[in-house]
Amino acid sequence: MSADSLFRLDGKVCVVTGSLGLLGREHLRALGGQGAKLVVTDRDHDACVAFARELEGMGLEALAHGADVTNKADVERLEQAILAKLGRIDVLVNNAALDEKVEAKAGPELLEASKFENLSVETFRRALDVNVTGVFLASQVLGRSMVARKRGSIVNVASTYGLVAPDQSLYRDKEGRQMFYKSAAYPTTKGAVVQLTRYLASYWGPLGIRVNALCPGGVSNGQNEDFVVRYSAKTPLGRLANREDYHGAVVYLASDASAYMTGAMLVVDGGFTAC
């Protein structure tokens, strides 16, 4: 097989949870570009349909089906819809997650609420539910047809914050005032995703199902200038990621190009965690 054809996904059914977010749309465009049949899934069914039409307008094949990854019955309906229309599942990208965006309005209330001492248990539990239980449920339900066929690739989207703790000085303004604290919820969940990835890689490896994690760094998305300057200075490549910067990594993990890789973390972060 030539190196180029190793990355092809012709006819492979690829599901991306959280399809409608900043990166979910990019993962779909990247996988579709290699010939995959795409499954667009997020909470809002009608918005999934609209995005699937957009992908079809680009010459890609896309099925839309809304589902909440924290709801097992919903994920089972998603599985049934995929199997009825496309007959199989080859790749699952567990991408849906909740995160506090830096571009969210900062202010004294946010600063107080974001302190560890004040973080609400509801916020913490909700993050665990979507970011961890959602990965558990989607893998359990959508993984069973992979188990039956004894092949498949699962890509869990973790984060640099699954590997290192947030440097809270990134979230200060020019004068050095803390704008807010990155909460304990997100890094905790992403650390759990890394460990669930290892668990499933070990558990399903004998069946030929590969499970890896992609650990992206921060993506440029209209964040305030203070943050961009501080983040860039802390990153050897000197910038935030562009939203297209993960295309290669997602295709690599989904495809046979990574056939001998499982239980691994692919860190694509401009060097953020190297120093």
Q: Which residue has the tokens 């209209």?
A: 222
Active-site option among 161, 181, 186, 252 = 186
Are 34 and 10 in contact by the 8 Å Cβ rule? The answer is: yes
Q: Is 203 assigned a catalytic role? A: no
Q: Of residues 157-186, which lie at the interface with ligand NAD (CB under 6 A)?
A: 157, 159
Shortest Å, Cβ 211 to ligand NAD:
15
Residue 197 in contact with ligand NAD, rule: CB under 6 A: no
SS3 of 99, please? coil
With CB under 6 A as the contact rule, the residue among 9, 13, 16, 20 that binds ligand NAD is 20
Residue 47 Cα distances to 96, 130, 131, 165, angstroms: 15, 19, 21, 34
Binder to ligand NAD among 6, 8, 21, 265 (CB under 6 A)? 21
Buried b (16+ CB within 10 A) or exposed e, 99-127: bbebeeebeeeebebbeeeebeeebbeeb
Rounded to a whole number of angstroms, the minimum distance from the CB of residue 20 to ligand NAD is 4
CA distance 72 to 81: 14
> Residue 176 or residue 222: which is nearer to ligand NAD going by CB?
222
Give yes or no for residue 235 binding ligand NAD (CB under 6 A).
no
User: Can you tell me which residue has the tokens 């997020």?
Assistant: 42
- Kindly state the smallest distance separating residue 193's Cβ from ligand NAD, in Å: 8
User: Annotated catalytic sites, by residue?
Assistant: 186
Residues near ligand NAD (CB under 6 A): 17-18, 20-24, 42-43, 68-70, 95-99, 130, 134, 157, 159, 216, 218-219
